[in-house]
Chain A
């Protein structure tokens, strides 16, 4: 289970080689180049675009978690926005009540997320497909109302202002500092995620995705692994929510409505369900494209005259893109990339003889 599809002509003779993260020197070289480019990015991009990259990092963490649940384990969850909010609210509440430090709050948010995941995952032992989706959507509304209740009782509905956190004595203020904090965090999450996928956990989750009955016939404790998938996913989601709260500096319940859920669904669907590369591509796509459109629209007087409805059309555009991907390329952007890859690998032929 590698992030990249194998190159033709590399014969793998051991399991270690097969599951290596960076299997060939070619991949290692380009991974190193990518890291270097990323490290230099804040000095090339202006503050605005560095901010977009930062938001992409946080969205990537949340999207990986959602993809783990929906793409890998095949348990559809529509409660993601609620879990992001739960993480942000845990951090906000701990600051308001106890003035707790940054690291403690991140940890607490992760733990709260894991507990919520077990609670919401419990029905998953009984419910499948549609019914599970609906119960998680119901959980979303219940969580959001509970958060709204807490917000109006503590801060009179105004929301919570988050202080600029400091990490190891390094105050996180300004986009550039956040970038150098979020880059390693996002890469670490990516690494943890990929390691989950290529361990026994990942194999169990994928087996459950394909058919839970046959997975349990193979000796996989499906109940345990479904709950594990839920709580791992919601823990990481809540962690990203706490990060988001600190990053924006303000936590309010309105930010965690159904639009946030749709944004995350858009990331995993446009990127490609069940693909790590897809989450990366999807997060980058969903976070940057609206700003690119906004930039492009500035040049068009007719669009500029429409004012606020341009924003609405943009959201609708995501709906359209999601629909087109569902209808035409269910594997998402990652699928498109694999197709391009296959085209060049196989040229001058069209198909692999054994390709399904």
Chain B
């Protein structure tokens, strides 16, 4: 039973990361391998705000989310907009270059030291005992709640809100959307900003739950596995992809060896790519388009 809860928490965390990948891919057809760095940056802004205003964690969270979103939009305008229309591989290579640039800037600003923001928040991590011998910490509950909110709220926003409709239009046919008077660069920047925000959210959770340091980017990078398994352009697929990857990871680390936790998502990804490259819910014609 507690294993199911562990898987659920891990899957929720992956879902938060994978939505960022999907949002970016839908709008600009870029696999953002610098997503982990967006996550670390936002988490460090959160930490910085927390040290400056120790009394109000809410301010720190808002500051972190804003920081991550602004960086996402900035990356779009500075790097991705000039590369629009290039082959997909160029975008991937550009984000790799960007990732090491951001990582070194983060290390230069905040140093490579590992921090524990949970200490600043005070000892509020006492787990609640639920029936069935399950111990749920508040932060774990928050991760699950945030993932559920994102997975339900984002599709609703894409369905109803005018910005969401514009985002879908740009994803479907950017040229046509531009012809109809949609400011596609603003919409794409919003997508990148939203992805930065989601990455930051995941980063804050990871920082509070585990630790914060420039080396946690690898956790953010692993989020592309569930995104691809679910389908790079499908928000619906994120939940299932995250669940599959989390199950594989938790089971591998528990029953085979803890070291396999890092390899498991990628092994599952390799198998998934072999069977169904466009993902569980992705659009099939994407393959020829890339």
User: Which residues of A come within 8 Å of B, CB atoms?
Assistant: 70, 76, 78, 123, 126-131, 133-135, 137-139, 141-142, 145-146, 148-149, 152, 258-259, 262, 265-266, 269, 308-309, 312-320, 322-323, 326-327, 330
Contacts and interface: CB of A to CB of B under 8 A. Distances in A.
A130 B88 contact: yes
Nearest to A306: B108
Contact of A76 (B89, B94, B257, B274): B89
Contact of A323 (B31, B98, B263): B98
Given A141-B262, A312-B104, A312-B107, A134 B273 contact: yes
B196 to A, nearest CB: 18
Interface string B6-18: 0000000000000
A274 B112 CA distance: 36
Nearest to A266: B97
B101 A319 contact: yes
B31 A262 contact: no
B266 A141 contact: yes
A16 to B, nearest CB: 35
B136 to A, nearest CB: 30
A149 B259 contact: yes
B270 interface: yes
Majority secondary structure of chain B interface residues (helix, strand, loop or mixed):
helix
Interface string B177-195: 0000000000000000000
Contacts of A135: 269-270, 273
B242 to A, nearest CB: 16
7 closest A-B pairs by CB: A316-B104, A319-B101, A322-B97, A145-B263, A138-B266, A319-B100, A129-B290
* Most chain A beta carbons < 10 A, residue from B88, B97, B105: B97
A130 B290 contact: yes
B290 A315 contact: no
Contacts of B274: 123, 126
A327 B225 CA distance: 27
Contacts of B89: 70, 76, 129-130, 133
A46 B172 CA distance: 60
Contact of B107 (A265, A309, A320): A309
A322 B90 CA distance: 11
Contact of B228 (A76, A134, A309, A322): A134
27 contacts: A70-B89, A76-B93, A129-B87, A130-B88, A131-B273, A133-B31, A133-B92, A134-B31, A135-B270, A138-B267, A139-B266, A141-B266, A142-B270, A258-B218, A309-B111, A312-B108, A313-B108, A315-B104, A316-B105, A318-B100, A319-B97, A319-B100, A319-B102, A319-B104, A320-B97, A322-B97, A323-B98
* Most chain A beta carbons < 10 A, residue from B79, B90, B101, B228: B101
Given A141-B262, A322-B97, A326-B83, A316 B269 contact: no
Contact of B270 (A138, A312, A315): A138
A133 B111 CA distance: 31
A335 to B, nearest CB: 15
Nearest to B288: A128
B93 A269 contact: yes
A137 B45 CA distance: 29
Nearest to B97: A322
Given A312-B112, A316-B101, A142 B266 contact: yes
Contact of A130 (B82, B92, B105, B262): B92
A129 B288 CA distance: 10
B269 to A, nearest CB: 5
Nearest to B274: A123
B108 A316 contact: yes
A317 to B, nearest CB: 8
Contacts of B87: 129
